[in-house]
Each structure stands twice: as C-alpha cells, then as structure tokens.
C-alpha cells in the first residue's frame, strides 16, 4: 500500500514525491514550518494530500508552543495556520483542512493545552481517515462508469500519492481493475513537473495495472484514432457550478474529449468543492517558477533568458464535464443546481 503521509511518534513522515520513481524516501517533519516547506517544494502535492499534510502541520504547530499562556498559544497557532495557508493558492483542500482544524480549536480552546493538542491530533487523523474512506467510495461509484475493456486516459497524478491514500481518479481506475475489468490506462506525462510520467506511472506499475505512457501532445491523436474510451482525472478546486481547476492541460483534454464525444469524468471528494465560489473564473491559478519550463530534471532545455509562462492549473467549464464523481454520489452534467442539491443532501 502506498502511504504518502505517516503520522508516527508525534511526527509527520512525508513521502518525498520529488524523488519518485528513483527512490522511496520519507522526510521527517516535526514543525509546521517543515510541513509548509514540503507543500511549497512539492515533496507533498495533490489537493487532498496537501490538505491532510496541513492538518498535521497544525498539530505540530500546536505542539511547538513552549509556553503555558493560552493567549500566546492561540496567537501562535493562528499565525502558523495563516502561514500554512499561504503555501499554495489553488488546491482548496489546503484551506478547507486548516479552517476545519481552527474550528476544532475554537470548540476545545477552553481545555488545558495538553488536551487541545490531543483534540487537534484526533481531528487531523480524522481528516486523514475520512479522505481514504472518501476515495474508496469514489472508486466504488466511479468504477461503474468504466466498461470491461476501456482505454482510460488520465492526466497528472490523482492517485494514492495525491491523497491520504488510494486516490481519486486512480481510485476509480484501481477499483475498476480490482473488479476484473481489463482496462488499459494512458498516462499523460504532464509537463512541466511530470507528475504523470514519474508518479502515476510508478503507482500503476506498483499495482500491475497495464499502462501506456504518452507525452501530453499525443492525446488528440489517440482520440482521433478512436483509441481512448474515457477520460478520468482529479481536481484541485471545484466551484459551485461545477467549473473545475485541475493540472494545466486538463482544459485542452476536456475540449478534445468533447469534440470526439468521449466521456470526461472528474473524480474528487467534497473537500475539493469551494462553497464560496459561484464559478471557476474566481479560482486563483498558481504560477510557478520559470525553471519548471526551461528545465527538465535540472537540465536546461531552452536558451538562457527565454521568456516563460507557467500556470500550474487551468479551469475546465462545467459544460465540458460529463460527470463529477464524489463520495456522496455522481453529479451528471454538473451545473449550479445539481452541485447545490448534492451538497445540501449531504
Ligand atoms: O501541482 P500538483 O501536483 O499539486 O497538482 C495536482 C493536480 O492537479 C491533481 O490532478 C489534483 O490535485 C487532483 S489530486 C487527487
């Protein structure tokens, strides 16, 4: 089983995703700053994984207090929460998890500091376990949408590594494969950071699920040739109308899938919905360093001084999405009313 995060001996072990597939190494975090750094430098990445890591970051922050003053404890915890929330801007799970931890703190703040820390630890573990549970449910529901011999295209990494475990889009693929469906996965390499080639291919290989690795610009050709039956990928933030932010390149795939009449599924837990945003235009899109584009694995591939544009995500309008697979149900042809009613039901 792939475990991207391990909470052990009051420390957070983070599987260093920058080193996969070359080696499997854990980074030991004992402060909230260390967790924040791991989120910033992509040692841990993927929306739900970032959220769960940040929740443990809050626990570590609470353990660092070193004073008996409740006022100091509260100010310091909120300061650390603010700092964690600045680590990355697009994946809403980060803010969702930190806010949930702060809400827990508000509910137990009259207890002794030791008990508050214990309460926060329990909440972080709950966030972690709930995410794995949600992914398994997403996998179970989503597997119904995959037919016996489907060729499934996925983008970026929405697997165990991107979550607390099991994965969203890869959870659907895992479940379909476990049901005995003879699927084949086409994995977009996902430039610039290569989450597909490095992480998704590694996860699929670990599980023995057949896959073919392609570069991002090959998807259209494969669709035109009738090779791809279905697209399944994850999300970093979903607005109330179903507009979805996901790894750069997702929108291009959605347009291609729509043109070729191929089902296009987004798999994501409720923690990825942003209840405060009416549509995707309001989702902040992270821009990352120019080196991610001018370099591949630290080797420069472009002339020095090349001008670079590097948005890390794009927004897919809801009308290009066949369905959003959540742990609470599948939202077909998502729009404001359908998203609202499923959120209200739960
Ligand atoms: O920049 P990353 O690697 O954090 O981006 C991750 C993605 O875009 C994933 O597809 C998304 O978070 C879904 S993860 C279940």
CA of residue 47 to ligand 1 center, whole Å: 5
* CATH class of the domain comprising 5-136: mainly alpha
- Residue 277 has a pLDDT of 97
User: Which atom of ligand 1 lies closest to the CA of 47?
Assistant: 12
- Residue 342 has a pLDDT of 87
| 139-345 CATH fold | Rossmann fold (3.40.50)
Spans of the chain, pLDDT less than 50? none
- Residue 294 has a pLDDT of 98
- Residue 189 has a pLDDT of 98
- Residue 221 has a pLDDT of 98
- Residue 206 has a pLDDT of 96
Whether 229 contacts 181, CB under 8 Å: no
CA of residue 48 to ligand 1 center, whole Å: 8
For the Cβ of 4 lying below 6 angstroms from any atom of ligand 1, the answer is no
- Residue 119 has a pLDDT of 98
Taking CA atoms, 110 is separated from 66, 73, 116, 123, 220, in Å, by 18, 12, 8, 17, 58
- Beta 26-29 vs 5-8: how paired, if at all? unpaired
- Could you say which DSSP state residue 68 is in? S
Starting from the edge strand earliest in sequence, which strands make up the sheet with 313-316, in order?
237-238, 244-247, 313-316
- Beta 244-247 vs 313-316: how paired, if at all? antiparallel
- Could you say which DSSP state residue 285 is in? P
Q: How far is CA 312 from the centre of its chain?
A: 13
- Residue 328 has a pLDDT of 96
For the Cβ of 156 lying below 6 angstroms from any atom of ligand 1, the answer is yes
User: Nearest residue CA, atom 5 of ligand 1?
Assistant: 46
For the chain, give every domain's residue range: 5-136, 139-345
Active site residues: 236
Strand partners, 245: 237, 315
Half-sphere exposure of 126 (CA within 13 A, CB side): 10
Kindly report the CA angle at 331 between 213 and 174, in degrees rounded to 5?
A: 35
Q: What is the DSSP string of 129-162?
A: HHHHHHHHHHHHHHHTTS-TT-EEEE-S--BGGG
CB atoms within 10 A of CB 249: 21
Q: What is the DSSP string of 23-64?
A: ---EEEE-SHHHHHHHHHTTSS-SHHHHHHHHHHHHHHHHHT
């Amino acid at each position: 089983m792939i475990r991207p995060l391990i909470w052990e001996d009051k420390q957070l072990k983070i599987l260093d995703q920058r080193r996969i597939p070359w080696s499997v190494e854990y980074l030991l975090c004992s402060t909230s700053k260390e967790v924040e750094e791991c989120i910033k430098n992509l040692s841990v990445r993927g929306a739900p994984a970032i959220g769960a890591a940040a929740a443990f970051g809050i626990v570590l922050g609470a353990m660092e207090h070193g004073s008996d003053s409740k006022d100091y404890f509260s100010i310091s915890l909120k300061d650390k929460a603010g700092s964690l929330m600045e680590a990355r801007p697009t994946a809403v799970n980060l803010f969702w998890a930190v806010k949930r931890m702060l809400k827990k703190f508000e509910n137990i703040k009259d207890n002794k500091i030791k008990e508050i820390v214990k309460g926060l630890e329990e909440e972080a573990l709950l966030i972690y376990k709930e995410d794995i549970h949600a992914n398994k449910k997403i996998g179970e529901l989503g597997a119904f949408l995959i037919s016996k011999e489907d060729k499934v295209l996925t983008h970026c990494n929405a697997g165990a590594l991107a979550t607390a475990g099991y994965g969203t889009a890869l959870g659907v693929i895992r479940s379909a494969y476990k049901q005995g469906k003879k699927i084949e996965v086409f994995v977009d390499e996902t430039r610039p950071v290569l989450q597909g080639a490095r992480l998704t291919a590694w996860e699929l290989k670990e599980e023995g699920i057949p896959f073919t690795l392609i570069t991002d610009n090959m998807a259209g050709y494969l669709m035109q040739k009738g090779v791809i039956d279905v697209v399944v990928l994850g999300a970093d933030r979903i607005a109330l109308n179903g507009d979805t932010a996901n790894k750069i390149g997702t929108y291009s795939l959605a347009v291609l899938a729509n043109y070729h009449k191929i089902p296009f599924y987004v798999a994501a837990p409720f923690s990825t919905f942003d209840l405060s945003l009416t549509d995707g235009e309001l989702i902040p899109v992270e821009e990352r360093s120019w080196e991610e584009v001018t370099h591949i694995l630290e080797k420069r591939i472009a002339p020095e001084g090349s001008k670079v544009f590097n948005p890390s995500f794009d927004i897919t309008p809801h009308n290009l999405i066949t369905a959003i697979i959540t742990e609470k149900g599948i939202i077909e042809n998502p729009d404001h009313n359908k998203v609202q009613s499923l959120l209200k039901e739960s």
